Structure 1
Amino acid sequence: MVTNLSSPPSPILFSCLAILLIVVFVSGDVGAAALDAQATYLSQMKQEFTGPAMAGWDFSNSSSPAINYCKFQGITCDAAGNVTAIDVTSWRLSGRLPSGICKSLPALRELRLAYNDIRGGFPATLLNCTAPASLEILNLSFAGVSGAVPDISPMTSLRVLDMSNNYFAGAFPAAAIANLTNLEVINLNENPGFHDWRPPESWLSRLKNLRILILSTTSMRGGIPAWIGNVTSLTDLELSGNLLTGEIPATIARLHNLQLLELYYNNLTGVVPDELGNLTMLTDIDLSENRLTGVIPESICALPRLRVLQMYTNKLTGVIPAVLGNSTQLRILSVYRNQLTGELPGDLGRYSGFNVLEVSENQLTGPLPPFACANGELQYILVLSNLLTGAIPASYADCRPLLRFRVSNNHLDGDVPAGIFALPHASIIDLSFNHLTGPIPATIAGATNLTSLFASNNRISGVLPPEIAGATTLVKIDLSNNQIGGSIPDSVGRLNRLNQLSLQENRFNGSIPATLADLHSLNVLNLSYNALAGEIPESLCSLLPNSLDFSNNNLSGPVPLPLIREGLLESVAGNPALCVAFRLNLTDPALPLCPKPARLRGMRGLAGSVWVVAVCALVGVVATLALARRWVLRSRHDAEHDGVAASSPASSSSYDVTSFHKLSFDQHEIVEALIDKNIVGHGGSGTVYKIELSNGELVAVKKLWVSRRSKQEQNHGHGGCLDRELRTEVETLGSIRHKNIVKLYCCYSGADSNLLVYEYMPNGNLWDALHGAGGWGFGFLDWPTRHRVAIGVAQGLAYLHHDLLYSIVHRDIKSSNILLDADFEPKVADFGIAKVLQARGDRDASTITIAGTYGYLAPEYAYSSKATTKCDVYSFGVVLMELATGKKPIEPEFGETRDIVQWVSGKVAAGAEAEALDKRLEWSPFKEEMVQALRVAVRCTCSIPGLRPTMADVVQMLAEAGPTTGRTAKDAGNKDSSGEHKL
Structure 2
Amino acid sequence: MTATLPLHLLVFSSLLVLRPLAVNLSFNDDLLGLIVFKADVHDPDGRLASWDEDADDACGFAGVKCNPRSNRVVELDLDGFSLSGRLGRGLLQLECLRKLSLARNNLTGSVGSGFVGMRNLRTLDLSRNGLSGALPGDFFWQCGSLMSVSLSNNRFSGELPGSIGSCSMLASVNVSSNMFSGVLPDSLWSLSGLRSLDLSDNSFEGEIPESIKGMYNLRSIAFRKNRFSGKIPDGIGNCFLLRSVDLSENVFIGRIPDTIQRLAMCSYLNVRGNYLEGDIPDWINRMGRLEVLNLSGNRFTGRLPSSLGNLQSLQVLDLSRNRLSGSLPGSLSGCKNLSSVDFSDNSFSGDVASWIFSSKLSNGSLQMLKSLDMSSNFFTGQIPAVLWEMASSLLSLNLSNNSLTGSIPASIGNLKALNFLDLSINRLNGTIPPEIGQATSMREMRLPKNRLSGSIPSSIEACSALMTLILSENSLSDSIPIAISKLVNLQFVDLSFNNFTGVLPKQLGSLPRLLDFNISHNHLQGELPLGGLFNTISPFSVSDNPELCGAAVNRSCPGVLPKPIVLNPNSTDVSSGSLPETPDHKRIILSISALVAIGAAAAIVIGVIVITVLNLQVQSSASKSAAPLTFSAGDDFSFSPTSGADSGKLVMFSGEPEFSTGTHALLNKDGELGHGGFGTVYRAALRDGRSIAIKKLTVSSLVKSQEEFERVVKRLGKIRHSNLVALEGYYWTPSLQLLISEFVSGGNLCEHLHERSDGNVLSWNERFNITLGTAKGLALLHRMGIIHYNMKSSNVLIDSSGEPKVADFGLAGLLPMLDHYVLSGKIQSALGYMAPELACRTVKITEKCDVYGFGVLVLEIVTGKRPVEYMEDDVTVLCDMVRGAFEEGREEECVDRRLRDKLPIEEVRPVMKLGLICTSQVPSNRPDMVEVVNILELIRCPSSAGQGFSS
Matched, 1:479 2:444: no
Equivalent residue runs for 1:462-541 within 5 Å? 462-519=454-511, 522=514, 524-528=516-520, 530-534=522-526
Contact 1:685 1:704 in 2 (8 A): no
Cα offset, 1:617, TM superposition = 2.8
Normalising by structure 2, we get a TM-score of: 0.64
Equivalent positions of 1:90-109 (< 5 A) are 90-103=80-93, 105-109=94-98
Q: What is the CA-CA distance between 1:362 and the residue it aligns to?
A: 0.7
1:43 and 1:608 mapped to 2: Cα distance? 96
Alpha-carbon shift at residue 238 of structure 1 (Å): 2.0
* Cα separation, 1, equivalents of 2:291 and 2:249: 20
The 3-state SS of whatever aligns with 1:275 is helix
Q: Secondary structure at the match of 2:266?
A: coil
Q: CA deviation at 1:51?
A: 3.8
- State how 1:110-121 maps to structure 2 within 5 Å: 110-121=99-110
From 65, 70, 74, the equivalent of 1:75 is 65
Deviation for aligned residue 1:86: 2.1
Match status 1:545 vs 2:538: yes
Aligned to 1:403: 395
User: What's the counterpart of residue 365 of structure 2?
Assistant: 374
Aligned residue in 1 for 2:697 = none
Question: What SS is found at the alignment partner of 1:299?
Answer: helix
Partner of 1:152: 139
Quickly say closer, same or farther: Cα 1:284–1:109, change in 2 above 3 A. Answer: same
Name the counterpart of 2:866: none
- Offset of residue 728 of structure 1: 9.6
Partner amino acid for 1:146? S
Shift of 1:314: 0.7
Aligned position for 1:615: 610
Residues 526 and 375 of structure 1: CA distance in aligned 2, closer, same or farther (over 3 Å) = closer
Q: Residues 282, 636 of structure 1: CA spacing in aligned structure 2 closer, same or farther, 3 A cutoff?
A: closer
Indicate the SS of the match to 2:230. strand
1:292 aligned counterpart, secondary structure: strand
User: What is the one-letter code of the residue matched to 1:262?
Assistant: D
Aligned-residue offset at 1:742: 8.7
Structure 1 CA distance, aligned partners of 2:931 and 2:427? 43
Partner in structure 1 of residue 425 of structure 2? 433
Q: CA deviation at 1:242?
A: 1.6
Letter in structure 2 aligned against 1:106: E
The alpha-carbon deviation at position 426 of structure 1 amounts to 3.5
Residue matched to 1:279? 263
**Shift, 1:119, TM fit:** 2.8
> Once the 2 structures are TM-superposed, how far is the Cα of residue 519 of structure 1 from its aligned partner?
4.8
Give matches, 1:559-570, under 5 Å.
Answer: 559-560=549-550, 562-564=552-554
Q: Per-residue displacement from partner, 1:580-630 (whole Å, max 9, x unpaired)?
A: xxxxxxxxxxxxxxxxx9997554655333222222233344555566677
Q: 1:16 is matched with which residue? A: none
In 2, the alpha carbon distance for the partners of 1:407 and 1:687 equals 43
Q: What's the offset of the Cα at 1:508?
A: 2.9
- C-alpha deviation, 1:428, in angstroms: 2.0
TM-score, normalization by structure 1: 0.62
CA drift of 1:848 comes to 13
Q: Which residue does the alignment assign to 2:170?
A: 183
State the one-letter code of the partner of 1:380: S
Give the whole-Å Cα distance in 2 for the aligned partners of 1:279 and 1:730.
Answer: 45
**2: CA distance between counterparts of 1:510 and 1:850?**
41
Quick check: 1:236–1:258 contact (8 Å CA) kept in 2?
yes
**What is the CA distance between 1:286 and its match in structure 2?**
0.8
- CA 838–807 in structure 1, closer or farther in 2 if over 3 Å, else same: farther
> In structure 2, what is the equivalent of residue 391 of structure 1?
382
> Can you give the 5+ residue segments of structure 2 that lack an aligned partner in the other structure?
1-21, 559-591, 633-639, 642-658, 694-721, 799-804, 812-844, 856-913
Whole-angstrom CA distance in 2 between matches of 1:672 and 1:746? 22
Shift of residue 800, structure 1, vs aligned partner:
8.8
1:823 aligned partner:
none
Corresponding position of 2:677? 658
Residues 390 and 309 of structure 1: CA distance in aligned 2, closer, same or farther (over 3 Å): same
Is contact 1:333–1:358 with CA below 8 Å preserved after alignment?
Answer: yes
**Deviation of 1:431 (Å):** 0.8
- TM-superposed CA distance for 1:417, in Å, is 3.7
Identical positions, percent: 25
Match of 2:909 in 1: none
- What letter matches 1:110 in structure 2? K
CA distance in 1, matches of 2:79, 2:779: 53
Q: Is the 8 A contact 1:327 1:352 kept in 2?
A: no
Structure 1 residue ranges without an equivalent (≥5): 1-29, 578-596, 660-665, 761-798, 810-834, 852-857, 869-942, 948-983
Tell me the SS of whatever aligns to 2:940. coil
Matched, 1:37 2:29: yes
**Aligned residue in 2 for 1:865:** 940
Q: Greater shift after overlay, 622-631 or 438-447?
A: 622-631
Do 1:272 and 1:295's aligned partners in 2 also have CA atoms closer than 8 Å?
no
Tell me which moved more, 311-320 or 740-749.
Answer: 740-749
Partner residue in 1 for 2:315: 331
SS at match of 1:196: strand
Moved more, 291-300 or 460-469: 460-469
- Offset from partner CA, 1:898-947 (integer Å, 9 cap, x none): xxxxxxxxxxxxxxxxxxxxxxxxxxxxxxxxxxxxxxxxxxxxx97999
Structure 2 partner of 1:707? 747
Partner SS state of residue 317, structure 2 = strand
Q: Deviations over 1:288-330 (max 9, x none)?
A: 1111110111212431111111110111011222222232211
Deviates more, 1:349-358 or 1:437-446: 437-446
Residue 737 and residue 711 in structure 1: after superposition, are their counterparts in 2 closer, same or farther (change >3 A)? Answer: closer
Other-structure match for 1:85: 75
- The SS at the match of 2:538 is coil
- Asked if the contact 1:92/1:117 (under 8 Å) is kept, the reply is yes
Match of 1:143 among 129, 132, 138: 129
Q: Which residue of 1 aligns with 2:115?
A: 126
Q: Contact 1:848–1:865 at 8 Å: present in 2 too?
A: no
Change (3 A) 1:544 1:684: closer
Seen in structure 2, the aligned counterparts of structure 1 residues 845 and 739 have a Cα distance that, compared at 3 Å, is closer
Preserved CA contact (<8 Å) 1:101 1:125: no
Given the alignment, which residue of 353, 357, 361 partners 2:345?
361
Q: CA deviation at 1:478?
A: 1.5
* 1:803, distance to aligned residue in structure 2 (A): 9.9
| 2:8 matched residue in structure 1 | none
Match of 1:591 in 2: none
**Which one is further off, 487-496 or 41-50?**
41-50
> 1: distance between equivalents of 2:536 and 2:725?
33
How far residue 228 of structure 1 moved from its aligned partner, in angstroms, is 1.5
Contact 2:98 2:123 survives alignment (8 Å): yes
Correspondence 1:253 to 2:209: no
How far apart are the structure 2 equivalents of 1:352 and 1:33? 69
Cα deviation digits, residues 740-787 of structure 1 (max 9, x gap): 53989999989x999966789xxxxxxxxxxxxxxxxxxxxxxxxxxx
Task: Supply the distance in 1 between the matched residues of 2:627 and 2:97 (Cα, whole angstroms).
Answer: 85
Structure 1's 146 and 681: CA in aligned 2 closer, same or farther, altered over 3 A?
farther
Q: Tell me which residue corresponds to 1:416.
A: 408
Q: Of 303, 314, 318, which aligns to 2:302?
A: 318
**In structure 2, distance between residues paired with 1:460 and 1:599:** 53
